[in-house]
Structure 1
Amino acid sequence: SGGEFGVRGYVAAYDAKDGKELWRTFTIPGEGEPGHDTWQGDDWKNGGGSAWMTGNYDKETKTIYWGVGNAAPWPGETHPGDNLYTSSVLALDPSTGKIKTFHQYHQNDSWDWDEVEAPMLIDLQRDGRNIKSLVHPGRDAIFWVLERTPTKINYVAGWPFVSTDVWKGIEPESGKPIVDPAHKPVVGKRVEFCPSLWGGKDWPSAAYSQKTGLVYVPANENFCGGFTGEKVALKPGELWLGTKPEDIGLKTKPGADHFGELQAWDPTTGKKVWQHNFPKSQLFGSVTATAGDLIFVGGTNDRNFRAFNAKTGELLWEQKTNSGIMGMPVSYEIDGTQYIAIQSGWGVDAQRIQDALVTNNIGIEANVPQGGVIWVFALKK
């Protein structure tokens, strides 16, 4: 981790028996390594690219897929180039750590849009053929459908799942997004962009149901942000954003009637099937889909834990808890009874968004109690 402290990110493997490090793969390629030419000078030495969430494993091809975070510091002008492998998915050989292939979601990251959540491995039919896909609703506001093969990741489709003014489109062959320079942060000038620094969906996880064939996304709409880039010398151990922390902002769009959105998408067609809006709250919590066609999610400032009908989006049940919920609902069974457990606890980015909502004078209060309590529910037929 530590993408905002001038690190050079990596993924490492350890022997579970004795803790010995077996390999270490840097997400920022060094001299002589493929991708090194996408950096200038010594920018790669502190390029960011932290990989601070767990990857996914494809047992058929023996491949680990790992998400990679943003470049450092934030303004892309301070580290010219595409900056591999930041804001990417890496396909790694678990035995050696060798990078088999990759896909970069967006180049020269300038918005702090980590793409650290590993893509979901879904077998789906699209355009008349079977695709072993990588599905990733990105922080960059694009819903990505990629194809995984033993040697290559192919771009299949991508579309905005919340409104954005940063991308003009996506190159159909390469899958490279086309940036609007007017909404790309630079040094010495404040630049505004939508969505905000927290993106269309931050690190809280989406979910997929094999029964419905839908992907459920904890999204945020009607948020914009911006900052003024500046060149700052790196001081080890100190925050290195490329802007002043007090300059970072989140603004709500005028007239917005909601902010959080629980979305259900069909990745085979690119169509949204249903959506549940949250009028007074962001949605900053992970989603779990169950075999009983239920969708569980917290993530709102009213502290509620909710269950939805996976097919229709109907709200079926809610329970107020001690705090806001950012964690992942866990489903398990004991002696024939299914349980759902969740940690109720609030802070970090969810709280930062909440604080920003309060300053927008739209009738939202700051009082979301802190806390860490495990709640467990039994599902009855």
Structure 2
Amino acid sequence: MRCMAQRRLLGSVAVLLFAGSATAQDLSRVNKEISDYNPVTQERLNAADPSDWLLPKGNYQGWMYSGLEQITAENVSQLTPAWVYSTGLDSGHQAPAIVNDGVMFVSTPYNHVLALDAKTGSLYWRYEHDNPPDLGVMHNTSRGVALWGDRVFAAGLDGTLNALDAKTGQRLCQASIGDWEIGAYITSAPLAVEGKILVGPSGGEFGVRGFLEATDAETCEQAWRTYSVPGPDEPGHETWKPEGPRPDAWKYGGGSMWMPGNYDPEAKKLYWGVGNGSPWLGDQRPGDNLYVASSISMDPETGEILGHMQYHFNDSWDWAAMNAPMLLDIEQDGQTVTGLMSPQRNGYLYWLERNPEGGITYLEGKPFVYNDAFVSLDQDTGRPTYDPAHVPTTGNKVEYCPSLWGGKNYPYEAYNPQTGMIYIPANENVCNSWTGFLDEDTEPASGQWWAGMDLAELKVFLRDPQEGVGQLQAWNVNTREVEWTHEFGKTMNWGSVLTTAGGIVFNAGTNDRMLRAFDAESGEVLWEFPLNSAAISPPVSYEVDGKQYIAITAGYGVDAQWTNSVLADADETGEWNGDVPVGGAIWVFALPDA
């Protein structure tokens, strides 16, 4: 009965994608071919000129920071829409606009890619991916594209990586990364590094063993593949114990690559985030379970794992560590060290040190939201001590905070080197409960739900029904204290953060549909604008002909929409707005012309 109920529920939340009979030659509808395209090189990616937005987070360090300063705290209140473009699609739009020398690329749900004039919003071309007609996925979304040379790289929900001609959108070659028939699909934006395109699949909830794959940008051939769950004779395999009901749990242990990583071009080291364990219940896969719920460093040439920080061992909460840590300098004991910082889904903010060989050392961790599963962190290693009452186990109903969506989910944090602050889109006060079970009727990696819990029995609730949820927090990197917090009230914050040299912090993602500008120093709200739908994509900034623009794509859906409706139904105060319109639209703002 449980399996049948689970399949019915999955049928209601999974999205079935229909593809027509299009061939590789007619997947792109060209409105106007791009005649003068500026190829993207490694040098341009390293430099991260603020006139462009060439990478998912603006630079390889993952800062979500723009060096443009035309828009300031004094004039941001004058922002007005420069243009708006409807994508014509529903569901969750989560991709940042990628901008190269006046050309904007936006990926959407259903794996469309749009190329537009970044100044006027006029369409150059649209690519519509040929997903299999019977493909069904849990998260029908795309989190961005990668640029290299004169190509645009877009991942598909069918597990493919597609190289498109940047001028026309025509597909030039394709790589098969994950097998969609066993539940592997790609939501992550690819990342271009040294002539390789890096991306990994989702699918941990279906018993898929995670990995990161490097593809040659010219040939679409595999350069290397590294699994996030080590196999026999690989370092870390000993952390998957053969005891328990699943002695070969490593074969389907999860560790999905949900999001793009970061890169240190000087040291030539990759930093990637690794997702949750599978099934969710850690007692079914004893051991620490490396490299689940970890940040890892890697050699970009070979894919070798060089170092790691596991934020919580034997992950049992679905607290995926999917966002890679930011690369920035940190003061430690009176010295400046090359550091890493990461606000994790488990509700803790971590200060780490990275060394040139790829090692990662724990410095400090502090909670930014309430966590009842951790009693403490070891002061030398950061390893948590657990409260058994809040650790999900087989056959037991367990409550824990923060919820499985975490103190912060996929939305990006931001770092401003001028203020020395990191800005976190946080969700406080959300908890959940569910009952774990041993699924003996379903084969892992079969394309069927395999998390060891029934979504129909998941209960999401507020720890204090009278208190709010969504927040924007500003932490001083070096004093390691909160400088200010903005409370959004009865809404989750599903918006990534952008900060600029003009002293501004931009954030959306709340169910009032507002895009807001905050003073980066004080947290004062300086400007807000109601979008057509809630924006759960990252805001970005770029410049064309000497004019600074702010771009964000609105489009409600996926987890943000589901959690909002659940919490609205459960709200005892009647203050929660559960009616948020959907529909994708790219919004671009600028100051009025003089």
* TM-score between both structures, scaled by the size of structure 1: 0.98
Alpha-carbon separation, structure 2, partners of 1:317 and 1:324: 16
What is the CA–CA distance in structure 1 between the aligned matches of 2:383 and 2:302, rounded to whole Å? 29
The Cα shift of 1:349 comes to 1.1
Alpha carbons 1:284, 1:350 under 8 Å: kept: yes
**CA offset digits 1:15-42 (Å, max 9, x no partner):** 1011110000000000010110111220
1:254 CA drift (Å)? 2.7
CA distance in 1, matches of 2:501, 2:261: 23
Residue in 1 that maps onto 2:366: 159
1:223 to 430, 437, 448: 430
Matched, 1:238 2:448: yes
Partner of 2:239: 38
CA distance in 2, matches of 1:225, 1:307: 32
CA distance in 2, matches of 1:112, 1:345: 25
Asked whether the equivalents of residues 475 and 484 of structure 2 are also in contact (C-alpha less than 8 Å), the reply is: yes
The structure 2 residue matched to 1:178, chosen from 373, 382, 385, is 385
Q: Which amino acid aligns with 2:489?
A: P
- Which amino acid letter does the alignment assign opposite residue 227 of structure 2? F
Q: Which residue number corresponds to residue 147 of structure 1? A: 353
Partner SS, residue 263 of structure 1: strand
Q: Within the alignment, does 1:10 sit opposite 2:10 as a pair?
A: no
CA distance in 1, matches of 2:253, 2:513: 37
Give secondary structure in 1 for the equivalent of 2:564.
helix
For residue 439 of structure 2, give the secondary structure of its aligned residue in structure 1.
coil
Distance in structure 1 (CA, Å) of the matches to 2:562 and 2:286: 29
Q: How far apart, CA to CA, are the structure 1 residues paired with 2:591 and 2:220?
A: 40
CA distance in 2, matches of 1:180, 1:51: 28
Cα distance in 1 for residues equivalent to 2:342 and 2:291: 16
Residue in 1 aligned with 2:485? 275
* Cα offsets for 1:34-68 (capped at 9, x unmatched): 11011122000000001121110001211000000
Distance 1:208 1:290 in 2: 9
1:255 Cα shift? Answer: 4.3
1:130 maps onto 2:336 in alignment: yes
Kept after mapping to 2: 8 A contact 1:197/1:226: no
Paired AA for residue 167 in structure 1: F
Verify the 8 A CA contact 1:340 1:379 in the aligned structure 2. no
Q: Which runs of 5+ in 1 are unaligned?
A: none
Q: Is the contact between residue 534 and residue 580 of structure 2 (CA under 8 Å) also seen in structure 1?
A: yes
Moved more, 219-228 or 363-372: 363-372
The superposition leaves residues 82-132 of structure 1 with CA deviations (integer Å, 9 ceiling, x where unpaired) of 000000011000000011111111100001011110100011223201111
The correspondence of residues 194-233 of structure 1 with structure 2, limited to 5 A, is 194-233=401-440
For residues 212-265 of structure 1, give each alpha carbon's deviation from its aligned partner in whole angstroms, at most 9, with x where no partner exists. Answer: 010000000111112101000343101111111111121112343311010000
Identity of aligned residues (%): 49
Aligned to 1:258: 468
Tell me the equivalent position of 2:75: none
Answer yes or no: is the 8 Å Cα contact 2:230–2:290 preserved in 1. yes
Gaps of 5+ in 2: 1-201, 242-246
- The total of aligned residue pairs comes to 381
Contact 1:222 1:256 in 2 (8 A): no
Aligned partner of 1:79 in structure 2 is: 285
1: CA distance, partners of 2:473 / 2:464:
22
Partner of 1:310: 520
The secondary structure found in structure 2 opposite 1:353 is helix
Q: Which among 266, 273, 281 is matched to residue 60 of structure 1? A: 266
1:371 and 1:336 map into 2 onto residues whose CA distance is: 31
SS at structure 2 position matched to 1:356: helix
SS at match of 1:103: strand
Q: Indicate the residue corresponding to 2:28 in structure 1.
A: none
RMSD over equivalenced CA pairs, Å: 1.1
d(CA) in 2 for partners of 1:240, 1:330:
36
Q: State the Cα distance separating 1:164 from its structure 2 match.
A: 1.1
1:373 aligns with 2:574: no
Letter in 2 for 1:344: A
Question: Is the 1:13–1:21 contact (alpha carbons within 8 Å) kept by the matching residues of 2?
Answer: yes
Q: Name the structure 2 match of 1:353.
A: 563
Structure 1 residues 100-119: aligned runs within 5 Å: 100-119=306-325
Q: Distance in 1 between matches of 2:336 and 2:591?
A: 35
Question: Secondary structure of 2:313's match?
Answer: coil
Q: Secondary structure at the match of 1:25?
A: strand
Q: Distance in 1 between matches of 2:282 and 2:316?
A: 5
Quote the Cα distance in structure 2 between the aligned partners of 1:246 and 1:154: 40
Contact 1:68 1:85 in 2 (8 A): yes
How many Å apart are 1:174 and its aligned residue? 1.5
| Aligned match of 1:24 | 225
Q: Structure 2: which amino acid aligns with 1:16?
A: A
For 2:497 and 2:561, the matched residues in 1 are separated by 19
In structure 2, distance between residues paired with 1:101 and 1:124? 19
Give how far 1:150 is off. Answer: 2.2
Where do 4+ consecutive residues of structure 1 move more than 4 Å?
none
Higher relative contact order (CA 8 A, sep 6+): 2
Secondary structure of the corresponding residue to residue 125 of structure 1: strand
**CA distance in structure 2 between the partners assigned to 1:106 and 1:51 by the alignment:** 17
CA–CA separation in structure 1 for the residues paired with 2:591 and 2:303 = 42
Which region of structure 1 is more displaced relative to structure 2, 124-133 or 109-118?
Answer: 124-133
Asked if 1 retains the 8 angstrom alpha-carbon contact of 2:351 and 2:365, the reply is yes
Query: Aligned pair 1:339/2:555, yes or no?
Result: no
Q: Which moved more, 1:212-221 or 1:229-238?
A: 229-238
Deviations 1:173-218 (A, max 9, x none): 1111111111000111100011111110001110000110100000
The residue identity in structure 2 corresponding to 1:312 is S
User: Of 289, 292, 295, which aligns to 1:89?
Assistant: 295
2:506 is equivalent to residue 299 of structure 1: no
Look up the equivalent residue of 2:225 and give its one-letter code. Answer: R
Asked whether the 8 Å contact 1:126–1:269 carries over to 2, the reply is no
